[in-house]
Amino acid sequence: MSGTARGAVGLVYDAGALVAAERNDPWFWALHRRALERGVVPVVPTPVLAQVWRGAGQHAVSALLQGCRTEPLDAPDAWAAGAALGQSRTSDVVDACIVVTALRRGDAVATSDRADLERLAVGLRARLSIIDV
């Protein structure tokens, strides 16, 4: 799969994952460590970063991002996210960007927002692998 080593499934983090990092959630940090040990560099779409980032005091998020790759939203993904919103009749742009990114890459999503992401995936007639955080 794209962006992974040794055939490992990739991982996309949503805002809930970054919040779990900020709360120093031990389960989430273990998930992150396991991903890195498998050679998987988790992806944080830039709209997720914008949704969560509030400034220099977010030391845990800063530490997490050191082991991640931020991925910008380009025009084709923006169009796909907008189409996903229309097809699912939802309105959360960041959620749509997460789903589009994960589906394009063939990655799982670490999220605290399973229901909304599933609704978007169903609207796209796609299967999305979700890890609850």
- Domains of the chain are 11-132 (3.40.50.1010)
> Which pTM was predicted?
0.91
CA proximity to 47, closest of 27, 68, 72: 72
Mean pLDDT over the full length of the chain? 92
Burial class (CB in 10 A: 0-12, 13-18, 19+), 55: exposed
Q: pLDDT per residue over 67-110, tens digit each? A: 999 999 999 999 999 999 999 999 999 999 999 999 999 999 99
Which of the pair, 7 or 13, is modelled with greater confidence? 13
Neighbours of 32 (CB within 10 A): 24
